[in-house]
A and B are shown apart, each in its own frame.
Chain A
Amino acid sequence: MQCTCIEIPDLRLQMFLRSQTRRDAHPVAIVEADRPSARVLELNDAARSAGLRLGMPYTFAQSLLPELHAHVIPDDLIAEGLQHIRLRLYAFTPGVEMWKTQAGVFWLDSRGMTRVWGSAEKWARAVHAALAASGYRARMCIGFSRFGTYVLARSMADQHGIQVVHSNSEEYEYMARTDCDCLPISPRSKTRLRKLGITKIREFLAIPSSDVSVKIGKDAFDLHVIAREERNVPVQNYTPEDPLQTRVQLPSLRTCEQIRIHIREPIETLFGSVRNRGLLVRCLTLHLGDENDAVTRTDIIPAEPSCDARLFETLLRIRLESLSFAARMNTAAVSLQVIPADARTFALFPDASVSYEQRNSALALIRADLGNAAVQRIELCDAHIPEDRFRLRSLHEADWGHTCAPGLDRRPDAGPVRRIYTEPRKSGRTELFRNASVLFGPLRYAPRWWTADTQDCSGVPGRTYYILGHNGLPYHWCFTDGTHWWVHGLVQ
């Protein structure tokens, strides 16, 4: 068993009903918005038995059933409910994935649970009971692939229950025989499927992917991609999108040492939370607000993602010592950007050398001292103008390999090395040519010369480069744009 799918049918309705103290059989509808023409999204049994159907406008539904109770569940409430369910599920497995396109569908990593619980069924019953205790009815299927378990869970006759399949082939057989009506696609796509004579999942999977989008619909295409490709994809553990954060009120502090002492404990608490969730911190952001309502922001990026609070405190201390505060600080907000920690990721790099770690630790200290943009790597580019032929990128933004690239072979005709100024320096022609002669040039750089109307590109704005020197020895690397002379660097 690799994967377990949990589907909570009529999630909004269940969320609404569990918040109600009265459990009498009033007909209830969940509508998409608080307006008369809003569509009905979910109905309870009493409303269904009265003849109401999903998708009908609320006014029409109310005309059929005047005692209908309609409610709107806002998105933030749904997100809160999903978060609650997810945290509940973490008690049973370290891997929980939530399907973003279909609220109320979760996949659990159920590998190894047989050893812990005795059997997969026992574990599933415990999960099911936990959800029931939280007020949710759920359909569960224990199987091998995400799409297969989802289809089997969704096709269950009851609103709640547990299904177990024992082999890949068994799962595929059950899934292939299931009707396409259970797929979460729009009514329009379902109609098109029916017109094409596609009624079973087996037939749906047999359609070429390129045809699904054109002939059926985008939603069906997305589902088709998942069904065709995801067979070997393990459960993708939860990655929080919002950073963990805390806010501290400071008693008008001015020195970095005082600030550090006041924020140490909240940071440790945050890191404790990070460790408990099996996450790693890749960036700590500190916002310091002063008495003039100005905010100073600083990012601390370690050598590699870590959950070591001491490491971050050290880096933060170095960074704070390099800052000077003109006003007294009143507030401090700390937020952490986290990523999931997975031992399998680290196992991919068994040969990571100590030198690499040492190097990155040293560079992290330097970044903490001088700023994140202080450590850079060079990227050569294929461009025309000299200053565009390379680009400096911050180390933490660049995606370089772990090891140092080996050196190249020296070419026998390697010329001298130039020193380039970040900004060319304006100079006078007389001054440049006073004791110098042209050793090399002209070399014309005319950007986008092919867009000029004439064949002669001398009129196109551009640069003409020269290397000037004395007695055959080079010194200046300069250019003219037709009106002025500029020194772009030295030959050293």
Chain B
Amino acid sequence: MKTVFPDRPPGLVLAKDLRQAEPSRLHIAVDDSSAPNREWSLHALTGCIVELFGTASLTAVMKIMREAQQQNEAVCWIQTDTTLFYPPDLPAHGVNPEAIYLVSAAGTPTRDRRALYARAAGRTADTLLRSQAFRCIVMDLGAQTIRIGVLARLLRFVRLHGAVLICLTSGEGRLGSLVTVRVRAEFVSSRETHGQLTHLTYRLRAEKDRRASFVWELSEQCGHAMYLH
């Protein structure tokens, strides 16, 4: 029996009716459950808002962006201040910086306060998610936060359209309780070979994960600073 809501405006979808979209090109293509770290992959994070912070946050997010690009999905980076990832570092991680859509919510003529930039970033993410054309959206919030009402709306669209929204923040718990996964990424150790620092290990530690009843921890490796030029 179909329930009828006479007061509901046409086109409005109730929160309880929202459900994950049927398996589509996106979801079938990214099923990499056999990968060793299934907690930190594009497929695993689909439908989630991720809060990522820590000293290795940029390096950690590269894996998700690379997976999105490898599946021909559009990646958008929303910038809210005057810092940016250094684009020449990205190709080594398998990310094509020229294929990233960069939205600068900072520095618009009529808005010169950071809180307003964050609000603009929230609006931008909302527009991008509604379009269903972006699978991976990274919001570089820094010390800013987003209002909980906006975040709730973003979460609905992330779930509905099978996207990933990663918010880079400067500290723990900035975005409140609505985030699905909260991860701290930190460099933990380095390895020396012949007296030179050659490798770095960074740890991803889930401080909160609504998808599972346990928190998880991963260790990943990358080259050391000697590979930066």
Contact = CB atoms under 8 A, between A and B. Distances in A.
Interface of A: 322-324, 355-356, 358-359, 361-363, 365-366, 369-371, 373-380, 386, 389-390, 392, 395, 400, 403-423, 439-440, 443, 467, 469, 471-475, 477, 489, 491-492
A390 B87 contact: yes
B98 A404 contact: no
A377 B98 contact: yes
Given A390-B87, A414-B223, A407 B59 contact: no
Contact of A473 (B55, B65, B132): B55
B92 interface: yes
Given A403-B72, A406-B72, A420 B83 contact: yes
Given A355-B132, A405-B99, A407-B69, 18 more contacts: A322-B108, A370-B108, A370-B120, A371-B109, A373-B104, A374-B104, A374-B105, A375-B103, A375-B104, A400-B98, A408-B66, A412-B223, A416-B223, A420-B84, A422-B84, A467-B228, A473-B55, A474-B200
A324 B59 CA distance: 40
B150 to A, nearest CB: 14
B152 interface: no
B180 interface: no
B133 A355 contact: yes
Interface stretch (B33-41, B43-51, B122-130, B207-215): B122-130
Contacts of B103: 366, 370, 374-376
Contacts, number: 219
B9 to A, nearest CB: 19
A210 B36 CA distance: 66
A407 B225 contact: no
B84 A374 contact: no
Interface of B: 55-59, 62, 65-70, 72-75, 82-105, 108-110, 120, 123-124, 127-128, 130-134, 187-190, 192, 197, 200, 202, 222-229
B86 A473 contact: no
A400 to B, nearest CB: 8
Contact of B86 (A369, A386, A403, A404): A386
B85 A472 contact: no
A395 B225 CA distance: 32
Given A371-B108, A375-B101, A417-B58, A423 B82 contact: yes
Contacts of B104: 370, 373-376
Contact of A408 (B84, B94, B131, B133): B94
6 contacts: A413-B92, A414-B62, A415-B222, A415-B225, A419-B86, A492-B58
Contacts of B228: 415-416, 418, 440, 467, 477, 491
